[in-house]
Amino acid sequence: MPAETQGVISLLPALFAIVLTLVSRQVLLSLFTGIWIGATILVGWNPIGGAAYSLQLVINNVTESFNSKLLLFTFLSGAMLGMIFLSGGMNALAQRIIARIKTRKQAALGTSVLGMLIFVDSYASTMITGSVMRPITDKFDISREKLAYLLDSTTSPVVSVAVVSTWVGFEVGLIREQFASLGIDQSAFVVFLQSIPFRFYSLLAVALVFILVVMDWDFGPMKRAERRAKEEGKVLGDDADPLIETREEDIVTPDHVDSRWWYFAAPIVALVAVTGFGLLYSGGWPELAPVEALKGAATADAILWGVFSACALLLAILVGHARVQLEAVSDAIFEGFKMVMFPVAVLSLAWTIGGVSQALGVGPFVVSVAEGVITPELLPAVVFLAAAIISFSIGTSWGTMSIMFPVAVPLAYQLGAPLPGAIGAILTGSLFGDHCSPISDTTVLSSMFAGADHVDHVNTQIPYALLSGTVATGLFLADGYGVGSLTVSGYGVGPLALLGVGVLTLFVAAYYLSQHADVSVPNAFGSSSD
């Protein structure tokens, strides 16, 4: 076993924190307990030294450049929401949309489509889609658990395969680095494009969303949550503790303000426009072509510029057009900060426990186990599952990609396995584990902007993620045994055919589960969805 890993012990902190979170529903205490266990192991099993080191680890992770910028983005998002509530713009826009949306199905479809359309950045997409659609889905009695699932499954999966997004530069950079070290004379961007049909989990996760919404099917804990919302009008369970308090009654729009829909739309457009420009500019545009510029874009800087611009525009609208007093604006900003304090704490501890798991060598351990069973035929499926386990344990798809690429790509090259399939397995496996993990930042943000209980979101989403992941595993096995290499007239149709089979399998499985799954069984982890 590699010297840089603690072996199976490396899984202990993350697994303990995850299980304790789901059982006790005490997210912060559970995460810190996991950090303390990992820190204690790192300092030689000294629990007192582990406690002191835990605090240092939290500080180290919070002050890391990307993380600190994301925390500032979250605080500014809270400030923006506070000012939007004060302006009444969200309600005004929601009323205009509600006038056109007549059914629950249309509301769910609208959420899904909007989540896909904002494909530049997963964080921005989650924030915008959740903020816009939450009042609308509440109006049509769609559970917050379902809203969080729709956000989580139509933002990151789409952004991860989009050729113009904050992910593409990172992903292409990882491919280019491995190609350079192995002496492979291929275009990293072309291979990135070739890997898209092999992103089985990402594409199936999106397909499952539309199957469930169009057919009005649900199963497991989500079925209970949706039944509660439809029959009782409760979008949240009785014992739910929303990750972000979104009660607009805490921020009252002044009587003299004539709320306009563009009070909300204008800052959102500014956020998207400035984020897009920031991505291009930080990557070297206009000296470089847009696609090349996106490869080197500073993601954290761009989304930070975008949300700051939105806040500045909102301030101008409130003071200049709506004639709201500065004191009221300041109070609304402070209330917005209060909304995001808990998510900020969760994100901080989630990053830290991910860092602890990496320090203990969870990546090398999982890879060492996987290498023992890898054959050319099994490689895509094994790589996919290894990436999923690591991502679930450390709560970050990007961190998992960084761990897997230096191992899986050279191994695929040595075994003669097709590189697009292996690369697709890494990228989509990293997303699969991230979707199941309660310590993932995208999972936390989906709960946050849906106004959902975080544990309920995890409980209700895991069965859907596991269904897509199981089907994806079968497709990777089929691909490994040659189906994915079929061609017609020189064009690869294997992965497309596999995807077709996968979607059909999802449809049949979702129908069966929606009709036969026993929804009277209590949730495994004590969710409040009942």
DSSP 156-213: HHHHHH-SSSTTHHHHHHHHHHHHHHHT--S-HHHHHHHHGGG-HHHHHHHHHHHHHH
| 8 Å CB contact between 336 and 81 | yes
* Candidate ranges 12-21, 45-54, 97-106, 479-488; pick with highest mean pLDDT: 45-54
pLDDT computed for residue 524 by the predictor: 42
Of 152 and 29, the structure prediction assigns the larger pLDDT to: 152
Residues 15-35 pLDDT 10s: 787 777 667 767 678 888 889
Q: What percent of the chain has pLDDT over 70?
A: 86
Confidence of residue 314 (pLDDT cuts 50, 70, 90): very high
- 322-326, 367-371, 392-396, range with the lowest pLDDT: 367-371
Is the CB of residue 219 less than 8 Å from the CB of residue 510? yes
Q: Is 245's pLDDT higher than 80?
A: no
Assign 385 to helix, strand or coil.
helix
Contacts for 520 with CB less than 8 Å, ≥ 6 apart:
none
* 22 vs 72: which has the higher pLDDT: 72
Mean pLDDT of 435-446: 83
Please, what's the b/e burial string for 466-492 (b: 16 or more CB within 10 A of its CB; e: otherwise)? ebbbebbbbbbbbbbeeebeeeeeeeb
Contact 77, 303 (CB under 8 A): no
pLDDT of residue 509: 94
pLDDT tens-digit map of 342-358? 667 776 887 787 778 77
Position 39 confidence tier, pLDDT thresholds 50, 70, 90: very high
pLDDT at 164: 60
- Range with lowest mean pLDDT among 305-309, 395-399, 431-435: 395-399
The larger pLDDT score, comparing residue 128 to residue 245, is at 128
What's the pLDDT at 492? 45
Q: Above 80 in pLDDT, residue 395?
A: no
In residues, how long is the chain? 530
Identify the burial level of 7 via C-beta atoms within 10 angstroms of its C-beta, where 0-12 means exposed, 13-18 middle and 19 or more buried: middle
Question: CA dist 315 to 81, 312, 329, 341, 381, Å?
Answer: 12, 5, 8, 22, 51
pLDDT at residue 375, rounded to an integer: 78
The pLDDT mean for the chain works out to 81
- In DSSP terms, 488 is beta-bridged to 491
Q: What ranges do the domains of the chain cover? A: 7-41+44-49+51-516
Q: Which of 166-170, 187-191, 280-284, 396-400 has the lowest mean pLDDT?
A: 166-170
The rounded distance, in Å, linking the Cα atoms of 104 and 96 is 16
Q: Report the pLDDT value the prediction gives residue 300, as an integer from 0 to 100.
A: 76
- The closest of 174, 177, 98, 108 to 139, measured between CA atoms, is 98
Q: What does the pLDDT read at residue 34?
A: 87
- The whole-number average pLDDT for the span 6-13 is 80
**For residues 134-149, average pLDDT:** 91
pLDDT tier, 37 (very low <50, low <70, confident <90, very high otherwise): very high
The whole-number pLDDT of residue 145 equals 93
Q: Provide the pLDDT for residue 484.
A: 47
| Least-confidence region, from 2-11, 216-225, 276-285, 375-384 | 2-11
Return d(Cα 273, Cα 290) in angstroms, integer.
15
Name which of 241-255, 280-294, 446-460 the model is least confident about: 241-255
Q: 429: pLDDT confidence band, cut at 50, 70 and 90? A: very high
CA distance linking residue 347 with residue 68, whole number of Å = 11
Over 90: is that where the pLDDT of 386 sits?
Answer: no
